[in-house]
Amino acid sequence: MSSNRPAGRPSSSKNAPPTSRRSARQQRIANREANRALTQAGTHGSGGSGSSILIYTLVAVVIAAVVIGSALVLTSKSTSKQALGSPNVPVASAVTPASIPVDGQTLGLASAKHTIDLWEDFQCPVCRDFTENIESQVVSNYVQTGKAKLVFHDLLVIDSGTGGTESLDAANAARCAADQGMFWPYHDWLYNNQYGEGSGAFTKDRLKTIGQLIGVKDQTKFATCVDSGTHNADVKSASTSSGYTSTPTITIDGGTPLGSYDYGTISAALDKALGVAPSPSASAAPTASPAASAPTASPAGVSPTVTPSASPS
pTM passes above 0.85: no
The answer to whether 155 and 119 are in contact (CB under 8 A) is yes
Cα distance between residue 9 and residue 2, in whole Å: 13
Q: What is the pLDDT of residues 256-302, one digit of tens each?
A: 999 899 999 999 999 999 998 776 544 444 433 333 333 333 444 44
What lies within 8 Å, CB to CB, of 84 at 6+ separation is 17, 195, 199, 200, 201, 206
For the chain, which residues make up each domain, given as ranges? 21-80, 92-247
CB 214 within 8 A of CB 182: yes
- The mean pLDDT of 170-187, rounded to a whole number, is 97
CB neighbour list of residue 233: distance below 8 Å, 6 or more residues apart: none
* Contacts with 254 (C-beta within 8 Å, 6 or more apart), sequence order: 115, 117
CATH 3.30.70.20 corresponds to the domain 92-247: no
Query: Could you tell me which residues come within 8 angstroms of residue 2 by beta carbon, excluding any fewer than 6 positions away?
Result: 161, 306, 307, 308
Mean pLDDT, residues 184-205: 91
- pLDDT per position as a tens digit, 247-258: 999 999 999 999
Which 8-state DSSP code applies to residue 249? E
Rounded CA gap, 201 and 194, in Å?
6
Specify the higher pLDDT residue, 144 or 17: 144
Question: Under 8 Å CB-to-CB from 299, ≥6 apart: which residues?
Answer: 129, 133, 134, 262
